[in-house]
Structure 1
């Protein structure tokens, strides 16, 4: 694909030039120093509400963010000279590219931010510029907490309570407990327990409030406490009774138990996971977080009295965590292809308008590439693949940063109907994914790395511990932390933060042939396992700093030979499996047969591309089916709730197909019959392939038939004509019902653009894998 450069219009160019004259940049100041002045001009049926940004300092300030709240009765519509986001009545405005630098002593005029307001000329409330009051006045400190008192103590802790402070300019965000000048605890409420103290020792504490802006109150009056002497009580309390699990998720377990008593009082209960302390509570329930899906854990509870004597452990309670979507629910994983915005004219918005986004649980963005030299995740380049599918370098160094985060989309192409200006740091598909997630907050979005033409260098990147660590670190930095390389005027640190909830590995194929020119070898199987372990390790490390758990999934083969060559899936021998590290695998349920765009695959005989079961008439020397693929995994001990079955939203076709006959003498309607090559495709470079919707519309006279033996759908135009194999609502219903009987996690779709505008196929899958009622 050629990179498409957004032209700078004459008006925009003149605007940028004039802005440079009005506010010529000089060395920027680290401090804000800006103020903002509001005015409202009455235009009859509407008001021009305007903020002029001023810089009263002696140094230029680059970059400003204006925030305010619309008063009751005031509505805001079109805005100018700034990028607006809204949460209810709260408005945030980021400078435009041409008015972001305000020179010393200058203002943003004549390019100040303004908007059309209706209802009244009342000024907005709570105005802030770069976090400071718009009038330049200082924030008032919050009130001082009062009534500090000791409410309890043990040999190593002291419990405190106080009366809430009074808020001034900002709400109270929390409190800091001080021992002398040292902050020893931070809480959001009006109680705190300070631990880590020495037994039988006197301490003095005070407390101060902190508001949402970080302003601190004066320090309260002090209170003194002496911790207990452990020599005064050496008798432990009894063990807690009736431990039980009262709830669980994929990553947590909730426990309860019966309270115990002690003459000195019970200070709390300690919950142990195995032999390690997991959490502490003063009540008789606790939730242990940070667990791994589909994993069995054993917990015990100990009571602890105020002299820190611990009881014997309670009886053990065992909990197996849920899968990633929850018991009784099904995953529906759809691939969105980066290049769909071109010939297919399929945008992220189409996921919304078709109803697909509301039905999907996970969306995989395809594909990210590997840097051929650095062996890291590759972004920031716009270089298309070659048109020759047998070119060993077809995908080498390729990528489309323009489609990912550089291309401005029009209002008609945008999820929320708001057009890109072309100057935002984040545009393109990534920005649309961000908007889609805002509309569907339960939808998980993953970046898919690899694919058919981008898997060439996986073997090299996974070859050594150092190489694996380097690759994983780069991918997490780029996609989970969101630090996109600058491409044109897009990208930069943190620009993609929060878009991706995990990583989907699409190495095609470790230990086996894939695309022409791919690097592979027998060592790939062990290195693939180690790569998954490294991803899980670094993702869990990131979780400890962000508090968010990240998903790790994979696209895995249907061919038992490819599974054996590259995927350590055995759960029976006690050694690690890739499924110990990934959340689930999307098992290839299609492409069992096909002619290929260059007739290099199977041009001379038709065959089902996604049959559920085997077919007695299948003449091929190998026999693929979705059932055999899934059974290969489950027979190795893989939990079926870690498997989704792939569905094709496209068809594969042949031309010059003979009708043929079945053993009973009736017509075979082209099934398993001879052909002369790939049928014309939806696109010239993709012979033998059409999206489902395109196939129905553009192959006239193709009579749809259903093979009930193999559970496969096909259509035939007549002797000497075209024969196509694909999924439709019938086959999806049959296969999803089978998936339910096998207790699979759900289904996966390659890929979403093939569906109809009304989402015919995703609706069939959603019906076949229903949400619990």
Structure 2
């Protein structure tokens, strides 16, 4: 990073960051990101740099780029010059040659992070100490850095993210979470905006205990959402959802040849994020060690330190590999540990979730490993991952007599898991093309339900009756609907001709779409349904979710989870209902 600030704008601070976005041998794409890191607005910017002989810009966009010999100048477009504090803008160009930029200036100032001839950067401040530590705040203090021209201010970092810039030697950090560890460093800046070396790190823990009666609020984030759905980790932050979640399950890793494997390397850790798509507003560089969703989750955790992330393996499509893997449970657990704890992203994940659909039963494929296979799997994983690692499993909600819950020893496995994600959704859908129409996620049974035991209460009650503690069960809810077409009957139980049209697949649609295109017209079994034209849909609304959360609390459940987060509205309507409904 080359950071730059103009002496004429002493109240401002800005950086310009260069990245080579791609290189195809005969040419390359370069990108500059200008970011206002100060506290006052910037009205215009000019970036200057030198290329070595033979390297040059051939075309540019989002800035006006000119040159005099090997000296290049980029000026903002009229619409991109104004940058509020914290805002950034990126411009790019195509070039030829193999050289890298040097002697960078922004608005005439020297590079922040380099040195000005005759002006040394500041020394490292003293390692901070913490005092007045409370449940939600603490006060940091440190000894001054030294500089030959004088120290201007200090940047304070919490868990790697800058949280304040101060002129003194103390800072009170607020809005923290009870009983949580935070790591702090401090970095000095001189009058020319040169940054010095960061201080040593301090880790401090806030006081208090987690709120009594606090519940788990987990959501699945799908790796494929970054494609057609254009749903990124940043959306969890901008919607307010991240602040309400306690856990995120990242879906999915694959299970192949007896071991855990990466599901989609591009989405997981290769995709380069632009500044506007990134949680921290900083564009990925071509050579950074980790990109993609994993890096974005890392940045999200820095911004929301209470969040825990689990890597989920399997799912409907990739469950077929569990049968082979469980021929050697210890080796299977070892492979998963090595993948989740890969040094490139070990800090991202706090746990592992095993989504086998279904042990000793049939989903997309069938397994005949026997009832003990679930217990054996979870025991092997707990042995390998240890007592402090989160270990969970998504399990069936089929409570019919002799159904999937009866097929495997979920009770015996429960001693090894932190909790079960009970998939109390997709009970009914347009895979039964002619109907009868029925809500896919009923809380309770109702007159005319197509299959007894296919409702949330029945599943939870059956699992509890087998001896599984209530607090180890999470109630599953869907942020989507399932529907039929060719329906004339408004109430449930009607006939149909097939699945209703959906954006991504027949018979399936996100809540954020259905709330507008097919508003709810009634409720049955504790969930909503809607008749619009000849289509019939069922889905949860904020009102039915609130009622489900109240029921979950009345049953002493550990909390709730959703499949999956991209189906919610841009302002997180359903997540807000879940959060409000689970508050003590």
Same fold per TM (> 0.5)?
yes
Partners of 1:407 and 1:473 lie apart in 2 by 27
State yes or no: 1:532 paired with 2:347: no
TM-score by length of 2: 0.69
How many angstroms apart in 2 are the aligned matches of 1:122 and 1:758? 38
C-alpha separation in 2, matches of 1:378 and 1:20:
44
Structure exhibiting the larger radius of gyration computed from Cα positions: 1
**1:499 counterpart (342, 348, 361):** 348
1:681 aligns with 2:502: yes
Spell out, residue by residue over 1:523-580, the C-alpha distance to the aligned partner (whole angstroms, 9 max, x if none): 242122111001001111xx6xxxxx2100111111024444543134xxxxxx1110
Look up the SS of the partner of 1:707 in the other structure. Answer: strand
Name the structure 2 match of 1:591: 426
Instruction: Report SS of the residue matched to 1:525.
Output: coil
Is 1:472 aligned to residue 318 of structure 2?
no
Deviation at 1:444, TM superposition (A): 0.8
Matched, 1:752 2:573: no
Unaligned residue ranges in structure 2 (runs of 5+)? 1-20, 32-48, 56-101, 116-121, 126-144, 167-187
1:314-353 map, 5 Å: 327-353=212-238
Counterparts in 2 of 1:67 and 1:436: CA distance versus 1, 3 Å: farther
Show the counterpart of 1:567. 408
Normalising by structure 1, we get a TM-score of 0.53
Per-residue CA deviation, residues 155-214 of structure 1 (Å, 9 max, x unaligned), is xxxxxxxxxxxxxxx8999xxxxxxxxxxxxxxxxxxxxxxxxxxxxxxxxxxxxxxxxx
Give the conservation status (yes or no) of the 8 Å contact 1:337–1:365: yes
Residue 510 (structure 1) aligned with residue 355 (structure 2): no
CA contact (8 A) 2:112 2:195 kept: no
Which residue of structure 1 aligns with residue 574 of structure 2?
761
Pairing partner for 1:556 from 392, 395, 419: 395
Question: Following TM superposition, by how much is the alpha carbon of 1:51 offset from its aligned partner in structure 2, in angstroms?
Answer: 3.6
Task: Please state whether the residue corresponding to 2:319 is helix, strand or coil.
Answer: coil
1:644 corresponds to: 474
Pairing 1:715–2:530 present: yes
Structure 1's 652 and 86: CA in aligned 2 closer, same or farther, altered over 3 A? same
Write the mapping of 1:211-610 to structure 2, written as runs, cut at 5 A. Answer: 327-371=212-256, 373=257, 375-379=258-262, 399-463=263-327, 467-479=328-340, 481=341, 483=342, 494-515=343-364, 518-521=365-368, 523-540=369-386, 549-560=388-399, 561-570=402-411, 577-596=412-431, 601-610=432-441
Partner of 1:121: 192
Return closer, same or farther for 1:688/1:127 CA change in 2, 3 Å cut-off: closer
Taking structure 1 as reference, are residues 8 and 744 closer, same or farther at Cα in structure 2, changes over 3 Å only? same
Q: Counterparts of 1:19-34 in structure 2 under 5 Å?
A: none
Relative distance call for 1:694 and 1:435 in structure 2 (3 A) is same
Q: In the alignment, which of 37, 46, 54 is matched to residue 109 of structure 2?
A: 46
How far 1:734 sits from its partner (Å)? 1.3
Could you say if the C-alpha distance between residues 649 and 20 of structure 1 is closer, same or farther in structure 2, counting changes exceeding 3 Å? farther
Q: C-alpha deviations, 1:618-652, integer Å up to 9, x for none?
A: 2x254411110100011112110011100110000
User: 1:119, CA displacement in angstroms?
Assistant: 6.5
Q: Which residue of 1 aligns with 2:515?
A: 696
Aligned partners of 1:405, 1:651: CA distance in 2, in Å? 31
Equivalent residue number for residue 613 of structure 1: 444
Deviations 1:360-414 (A, max 9, x none): 111000000012x3x11112xxxxxxxxxxxxxxxxxxx3100000000111111
Cα distance per residue 1:194-238 (max 9 Å; x no partner): xxxxxxxxxxxxxxxxxxxxxxxxxxxxxxxxxxxxxxxxxxxxx
Please list the CA deviations of residues 244-263 of structure 1 after superposition, one character each: whole Å capped at 9, or x if unmatched.
Answer: xxx998xxxxxxxxxxxxxx
Partners of 1:758 and 1:563 in 2: how far apart? 37
Q: 1:172 to 1:68 in 2, by over 3 A?
A: closer
Per the TM alignment, residue 460 of structure 1 is displaced from its structure 2 partner at its CA by: 1.2
1:127 and 1:612, CA in 2 relative to 1: closer, same or farther beyond 3 A?
Answer: closer
Aligned 8 A contact 2:453 2:459 in 1: no
Matches within 5 A, 1:137-176: none
Asked whether the 8 Å contact 1:41–1:49 carries over to 2, the reply is: no
SS at match of 1:446: strand
The higher relative CO (CA closer than 8 Å, separation ≥ 6) is in 2
For 1:716-764, what per-residue CA distance to the aligned partner results, in whole angstroms no more than 9, with x for missing partners? 014xx00000010121111111111111111110000000000000101
What secondary structure, in the 3-state scheme, does the structure 2 residue paired with 1:364 have?
Answer: strand
Q: Deviations over 1:240-294 (max 9, x none)?
A: xxxxxxx998xxxxxxxxxxxxxxxxxxxxxxxxxxxxxxxxxxxxxxxxxxxxx
> Partners in 2 of 1:427 and 1:359 — Cα distance?
25
Change (3 A) 1:656 1:67: farther
Which residue of structure 2 lines up, in the alignment, with residue 740 of structure 1? 553
Using the TM superposition, give the Cα deviation of residue 425 of structure 1 relative to its aligned residue in structure 2, in angstroms: 1.5
Moved over 4 A (4+): 11-15, 17-21, 39-45, 66-71, 84-90, 122-128, 170-173
Q: 1:423 & 1:362 partners in 2: Cα distance? A: 30
Q: Provide the aligned length of Structure 1 versus Structure 2.
A: 440
Distance 1:621 1:533 in 2: 33
Counterpart contact for 1:512–1:565, Cα < 8 Å? no
Matches within 5 A, 1:76-91: none
Which sections of structure 1, spanning at least 5 residues, go unmatched?
A: 1-5, 22-38, 53-65, 77-83, 91-116, 129-169, 174-246, 250-324, 380-398, 484-493, 544-548, 571-576, 660-668
- Native 8 Å contact 1:648 1:750 kept in 2: yes
Partner Cα separation in structure 2 for residue 741 and residue 537 of structure 1: 33
Q: C-alpha displacement at 1:458, in angstroms?
A: 0.2
User: Partner of 1:455: helix, strand, or coil?
Assistant: helix
